[in-house]
């Protein structure tokens, strides 16, 4: 038996993505070359760019391919702060480390002041506090950037990104959002959502690893992070990963076009998992808002049980019994001190199970059986 419930970390590669990459391997030219082989490769890159832009309601020139979401976050935040003249950055302690560590770097190097938005015990941010701060900075004519992830990768909390973007625009603040967990999972229309920067990672929606993109609103100047060439309209030097971009494009089209059906199907799987956990383990608690289907991402569920988590070995025990899941972000799985997100909301611990379009209720039943087996052996 093998159950994969760690889709917030990475997802299985879709057949559509595999096929697109195999076909792209036939176009071996450098997309910067002007001869026929180069033009074939360039056509693959630009077709994917246009397809993504059309689905996101933005211009193709606003999509810049990167090696993944972490690079996109780093570039948007550091270059954005430098080039937009930002004096104050507002973010959160429960962001992905691709944002929190960058915020620390920005502050340590004197690029601007960093402020952390308060949150409650469920990880819900105090947006009223933020609005008061933005109003005050606006009256002082200071340039501000806000960085909040659309959906938290560990506890699944979703923010109202459109309302936040309108608040930021009201006070002239730039908005960056790590949309890695929601890209191609939730409807995003950047013609209506007035954010300035967003990040995407292909392997979060059944595409390949090592490829993603940044969205940068037209008119914003960001110096390149990587130097040495004029690729990506001089935004990012280096020969484009044509094969990876082809795979990303196929996976993006597949998942974005199926958002409505996937949302219904996967929500039912998550709802069933919540019901089974509550029924079989009455003392179970859900971290953040992950147990609330209306306020959390339908792919993420983070639970804590005082008995199951008593020895700190649950995730290891699940693994040896054929269930793959995590205790937090896979990007910091070796960190000392556990999950910074769970620590920030004062949770005693937790296990994150995360679903995909390929997850099933039958797998949930098998997962519950394994949990019962582990509990009986305590």
Q: What is the pLDDT of residues 293-319, one digit of tens each?
A: 999 999 999 999 999 999 999 999 999
213, 237, 257 - which closes a domain: 257
Give me the torsion for CA of 231, 190, 244, 28, rounded to 10°: -50
Convert the pLDDT of each residue in 147-158 to its tens digit: 999 999 999 999
Domain containing residue 235: 15-257
pLDDT of residue 329: 59
Residue 343: pLDDT over 80: yes
204 with 217, same domain? yes
Q: In whole angstroms, give the CA distance from residue 250 to residue 267.
A: 23
73 with 187, same domain? yes
Q: In whole angstroms, give the CA distance from residue 19 to residue 186.
A: 24
Which entry of 67, 84, 168, 331 is annotated as an active-site residue? Answer: 331
Convert the pLDDT of each residue in 64-119 to its tens digit: 999 999 999 999 999 999 999 999 999 999 999 999 999 999 999 999 999 999 99
Residue 336: pLDDT over 90: no
pLDDT of residue 206: 98
Count of domains for the chain: 2
Residue 342: CATH number of its domain: 3.90.1150.10
Average pLDDT over every residue of 227-247: 96
Q: In whole angstroms, give the CA distance from residue 156 to residue 96.
A: 12
Convert the pLDDT of each residue in 256-284 to its tens digit: 999 999 999 999 999 999 999 999 999 99
Residue 334: pLDDT over 60: no
Cα Rg of the chain (Å, integer): 21
Laid out side by side, the sheet with 351-354 consists of: 285-286, 300-304, 351-354
pLDDT of residue 327: 84
Parallel/antiparallel/unpaired status of strands 323-324 and 197-201:
unpaired
Q: In whole angstroms, give the CA distance from residue 239 to residue 232.
A: 9
pLDDT of residue 1: 79
Convert the pLDDT of each residue in 49-74 to its tens digit: 999 999 999 999 999 999 999 999 99
Confidence label for 168 from pLDDT (cuts 50, 70 and 90): very high
360 with 276, same domain? yes
267 with 358, same domain? yes
269 with 178, same domain? no
Note the residue count of the chain. Answer: 378
236, 257, 278 - which closes a domain: 257
283 with 201, same domain? no
Is 67 a known active-site residue?
Answer: no
Q: In whole angstroms, give the CA distance from residue 32 to residue 35.
A: 9
pLDDT of residue 337: 65
Q: In whole angstroms, give the CA distance from residue 96 to residue 152.
A: 8
pLDDT of residue 225: 87
205 with 331, same domain? no
Give me the torsion for CA of 176, 182, 187, 192, rounded to 10°: 0
Are 142 and 112 contacting, i.e. CB atoms less than 8 angstroms apart?
no
273 with 188, same domain? no
DSSP notation for 312-344: S-HHHHHHHTTEE-BSS-GGGTT-TTS-HHHHH
Average pLDDT over every residue of 337-350: 93
Residue 79: CATH number of its domain: 3.40.640.10
225, 257, 289 - which closes a domain: 257
pLDDT of residue 338: 84
Confidence label for 340 from pLDDT (cuts 50, 70 and 90): very high
Q: In whole angstroms, give the CA distance from residue 100 to residue 106.
A: 10
């Amino acid at each position: 038996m093998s159950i994969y419930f760690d889709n917030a970390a990475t997802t299985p590669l879709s057949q559509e993505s595999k096929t697109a990459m195999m076909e792209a391997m036939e176009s071996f030219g450098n997309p910067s070359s002007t001869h026929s082989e180069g033009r074939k490769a360039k056509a693959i890159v630009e077709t994917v760019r246009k397809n993504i832009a059309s689905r996101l309601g933005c211009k193709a020139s606003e999509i810049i391919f990167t090696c993944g979401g972490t690079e996109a976050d780093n570039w948007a935040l550091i270059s954005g702060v430098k080039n937009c003249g930002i004096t104050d950055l507002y973010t959160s302690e429960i962001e992905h480390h691709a944002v929190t560590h960058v915020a620390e770097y920005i502050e340590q190097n004197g690029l601007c002041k960093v402020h952390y938005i308060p949150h409650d015990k469920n990880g819900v941010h105090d947006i009223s506090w933020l609005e008061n701060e933005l109003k005050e900075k606006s009256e002082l004519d200071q340039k501000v950037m806000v960085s909040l992830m659309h959906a938290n990768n560990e506890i699944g909390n979703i923010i109202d990104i459109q309302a936040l973007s309108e608040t930021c625009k009201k006070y002239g603040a730039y908005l960056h959002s790590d949309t890695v967990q929601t890209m191609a999972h939730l409807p995003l229309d950047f013609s209506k959502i007035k954010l300035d920067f967003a990040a995407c990672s292909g392997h979060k929606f059944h595409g390949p690893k090592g490829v993603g993109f940044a969205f940068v609103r037209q008119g914003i100047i960001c110096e390149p992070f990587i130097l040495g060439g004029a690729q990506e309209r001089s935004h990012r030097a280096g020969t484009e990963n044509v094969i990876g971009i082809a795979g990303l494009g196929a996976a993006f089209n597949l998942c974005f076009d199926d958002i409505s059906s996937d949302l219904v199907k996967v929500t039912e799987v998550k709802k069933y998992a919540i019901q089974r956990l509550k029924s079989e383990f009455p003392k179970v608690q859900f971290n953040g808002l992950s147990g609330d289907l209306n306020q959390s991402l339908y792919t993420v569920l983070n639970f804590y049980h005082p008995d199951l988590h008593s020895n700190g070995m649950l995730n290891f025990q699940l693994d040896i019994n054929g269930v793959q899941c995590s205790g937090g972000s896979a990007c910091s799985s070796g960190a000392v001190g556990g999950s910074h997100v769970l620590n920030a909301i004062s949770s005693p611990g937790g296990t994150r199970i995360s679903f995909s379009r390929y997850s099933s209720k039958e797998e949930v039943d098998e997962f519950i059986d394994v949990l019962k087996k582990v509990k009986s052996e305590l």
